[in-house]
């Protein structure tokens, strides 16, 4: 890919992992897309970082505001010396370092209609409702794909309007195939196959004997009738089916139609569920901010701010609303949390990639998120306005939600992070933003690997000049730039029995918790055993393509990682394996059956015969 973003060869050394998921066609569509991201607070910079790493044609970051103390709670590319400067201009050079193939420019003017026409995708963050509606209507009329993302303390909101687009792969899974057991010529022309409910809307046929008209035909639309049957086209005029044949799923492009923000409303029903409640709450906060030119003061319970928020709920009847939920939204709406921005920002960036590539089904059209479980349910432990008031501190956005006591506790935490790869880099960034180990505590990160070129696409703390350097030391130095107060030490040790002289009893007893960012099960299970033994909390996470998992292990409260059971896999009937194996997975299952089960049975028989021999000779009583 050329530096200016024009069509060229894709740098497979850099994008190798991403190509496994997207494919070359989608990657080429991505590199031809110009993206505008408006709002360079914590949420906006998170989206920009992810989109730039993805490899679009160009990114323009827009903001007309200047950096404030509370921005430092989650905006990891703003330093204390940048306070008072334009957020977009300060962020641009640091974002540009992420990917040499993606030009990044800063824009500080108004978002005029002429300016918006330069982009294929527009992302609005920290925007007013009026701006969302105006920009949304214009983008919808011009076929410009729009994403609106917003966070308010513990709450997040995401909206997508891609006008009309083609989705080329709705789920990212490999196409299925199966052996055919029967095709009828009398309606409804049913095929007898296994796993028919997993098939999509269209299939093709090969190796059919007898009814050869089906072989190599155009994709045929199907209708699933039962666990092992579905109907196809009219086969009455075809020759008789004899035997055999393979039916294969065909992924057809699907046209998706969206409506604009102005037209896309939640239907207010008799009982509003949580997303509807949050939708009303966000609109009420927009109305409050428009009237007063500021958000409600954190945890203000003296004046009538929350009452006014409730009065701004528009068409929703008061008796339908969860008043306690709306009040909590008002209490924390001035907050700015790095972990919430990371989550919503990651989702928004994924929607940008969907909009550019047509790969995977986009969000239709609203998504709401809350993390209220972070607050105490005990009314007696409610925070006060004084405890959550701004202090001209880099943690003001977080103090607005959780108060100063939690901030002091975070500063004293001592955490062990195992792994400094893609997940490890994100964890370290979040640790630095929330102020973990920024006082008497410490973060110890260990990783025995060195940085490779292919890491740069996902592990955003590293730059091309860092290739061949140790991951742990480089990552530690990078997050020190984000928050100089964090106390962090890099190690180059693997975790296992051979390093227990380093990570010994004294080491584990000194920890407040462990975070795994590993890429193999053995190391995960080892760390899980150590955490169980020393009774330490464990934060476990992992990714696989577009899928991800998180598990929080709390001693004496939740099950451990090793105790968790994966969902049962679909089993293959043993009669099929013995009599008529007809798929690749059958051969693998046969090998596993013969290698493990039969050898285990032989092992048991061998020992049983030895025991019988010893028993008969009187050796064993």
Spans of all domains in the chain: 12-168+259-368, 177-250, 412-553, 574-616
Q: Over range 230-234, report the average pLDDT.
A: 83
End-to-end CA distance of the chain: give it in Å, rounded: 76
pLDDT exceeds cutoff 50 at 444: yes
Place of tokens 């089960």: 597
Per-residue model confidence (pLDDT) at position 166: 92
CB atoms < 10 A from the CB of 39, how many?
A: 24
Split at pLDDT 50, 70, 90, the class of 5 is very low
CA 251 – CA 171 distance, rounded (Å): 10
pLDDT exceeds cutoff 90 at 576: no
Ramachandran sector of residue 12 (left: φ over 0; alpha: ψ -120 to 50; beta: rest): alpha
Place of tokens 């269209």: 202
For the domain 177-250, what is the CATH code? 2.40.30.180
* Superfamily of 412-553 according to CATH: NAD(P)-binding Rossmann-like Domain (3.40.50.720)
Q: 229-262 burial string, b = 16+ CB within 10 Å, else e?
A: bbbbeebeebeebeeebbbebebeeeebebebbe
Which 8-state DSSP code applies to residue 192? E
Q: What is the pLDDT of residues 168-211, one digit of tens each?
A: 988 888 888 888 888 888 765 667 776 666 666 888 999 989 88
List the catalytic residue out of 233, 263, 374, 575. 575
Per-residue model confidence (pLDDT) at position 268: 40
For the domain 12-168+259-368, what is the CATH code? 3.40.50.720
Per-residue model confidence (pLDDT) at position 177: 84
CB 91 within 8 A of CB 78: yes
Q: What is the pLDDT of residues 311-361, one digit of tens each?
A: 665 555 555 778 888 889 999 999 999 999 999 999 999 999 999 999 999
pTM: 0.86
Split at pLDDT 50, 70, 90, the class of 220 is confident
Split at pLDDT 50, 70, 90, the class of 6 is very low
DSSP string over 294-327 = SPPPTT--SSSHHHHHHHT-TTS-GGGS-HHHHH
- 575 has catalytic annotation: yes
CA 71 – CA 77 distance, rounded (Å): 10
Split at pLDDT 50, 70, 90, the class of 236 is confident
CA 544 – CA 522 distance, rounded (Å): 17
Q: Would the CATH topology of 12-168+259-368 be identical to that of 412-553?
A: yes
DSSP string over 457-503 = GT-TT--GGGTTSBHHHHHHHHHHHH-TT--EEEE----SGGGTTTS
Which 8-state DSSP code applies to residue 596? I
Structure tokens at 351: 């929607």
- Mean pLDDT (the chain) is 87
Q: Over range 244-265, report the average pLDDT.
A: 81
Sign of CA dihedral 348, 352, 357, 361: positive
Per-residue model confidence (pLDDT) at position 228: 76
């Amino acid at each position: 890919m050329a530096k200016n973003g024009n069509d060229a060869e894709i740098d497979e050394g850099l994008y190798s992992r991403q190509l496994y998921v997207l494919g070359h066609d989608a990657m080429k569509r991505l590199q031809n897309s110009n993206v505008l991201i408006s709002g360079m607070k914590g949420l906006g910079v998170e989206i920009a970082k992810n989109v730039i790493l993805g490899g679009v044609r160009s990114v323009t970051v827009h903001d007309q505001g200047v950096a404030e103390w509370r921005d430092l709670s989650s905006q990891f590319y703003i330093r204390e010396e940048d306070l008072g400067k334009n957020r977009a201009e300060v962020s641009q050079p640091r974002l540009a370092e992420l990917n040499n193939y993606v030009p990044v420019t800063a824009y500080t003017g108004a978002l005029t209609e002429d300016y918006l026409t330069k982009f294929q995708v527009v992302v609005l963050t920290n925007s007013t409702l009026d701006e969302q509606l105006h920009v949304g209507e214009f983008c919808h009329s011009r076929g410009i794909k729009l994403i609106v993302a917003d966070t308010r303390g513990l709450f997040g909101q995401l909206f997508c309007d891609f006008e009309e687009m083609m989705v080329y792969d709705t789920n990212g899974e490999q196409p299925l195939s199966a052996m055919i057991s029967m095709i009828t010529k009398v309606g409804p022309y049913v095929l007898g196959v296994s796993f028919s409910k997993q098939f999509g809307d269209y299939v093709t046929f090969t190796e059919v004997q007898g009814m050869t008209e089906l072989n190599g035909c155009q994709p045929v639309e199907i209708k699933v009738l039962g666990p092992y049957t579905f109907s196809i086209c009219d086969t009455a005029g075809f020759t008789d089916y004899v035997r055999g044949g393979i039916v294969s799923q065909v992924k057809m492009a699907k046209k998706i139609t969206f409506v604009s923000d102005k037209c896309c409303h939640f239907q207010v029903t008799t009982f509003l569920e949580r997303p509807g409640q949050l939708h009303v709450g966000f609109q009420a906060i927009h109305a409050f901010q428009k009237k007063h030119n500021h958000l409600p003061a954190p945890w203000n319970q003296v004046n009538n701010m929350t009452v006014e928020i409730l009065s701004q709920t528009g068409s929703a009847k008061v008796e339908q609303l969860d008043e306690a939920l709306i009040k909590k939204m008002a209490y924390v709406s001035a907050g700015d949390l790095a972990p919430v921005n990371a989550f919503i920002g990651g989702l928004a960036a994924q929607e940008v990639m969907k909009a550019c590539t047509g790969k995977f089904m986009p969000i239709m059209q609203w998504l709401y998120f809350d993390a209220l479980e972070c607050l105490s349910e005990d009314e007696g432990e409610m925070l006060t306005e004084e405890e959550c008031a701004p202090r001209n501190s880099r943690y003001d956005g977080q103090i607005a939600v959780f108060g100063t006591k939690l901030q002091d506790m975070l500063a004293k935490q001592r955490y062990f992070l195992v792994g400094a790869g893609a997940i490890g880099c994100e964890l370290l960034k979040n640790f630095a933003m929330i102020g973990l180990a920024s006082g008497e505590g410490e973060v110890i990160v260990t990783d025995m690997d060195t940085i490779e070129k292919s890491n740069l696409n996902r592990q955003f703390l590293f730059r091309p000049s860092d290739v061949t350097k140790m991951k742990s030391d480089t990552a530690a130095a990078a997050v020190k730039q984000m928050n100089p107060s964090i106390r962090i030490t890099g190690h180059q040790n693997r975790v296992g029995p051979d390093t227990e002289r380093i990570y010994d009893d004294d080491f584990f007893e000194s920890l407040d918790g462990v975070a795994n960012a590993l890429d193999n099960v053995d190391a995960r299970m080892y760390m899980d055993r150590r955490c169980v033994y020393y009774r330490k909390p464990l934060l476990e996470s992992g990714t696989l393509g577009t899928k991800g998992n998180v598990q929080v292990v709390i001693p004496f409260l939740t099950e451990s990682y090793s105790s968790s059971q994966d969902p049962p896999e679909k089993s293959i009937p043993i009669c099929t394996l013995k009599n008529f194996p007809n798929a690749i997975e059958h051969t693998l299952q046969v090998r596993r059956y013969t290698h493990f089960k039969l050898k285990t049975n032989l092992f048991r028989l061998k020992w049983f015969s030895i025991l019988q021999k010893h028993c008969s000779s009187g050796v064993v009583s």
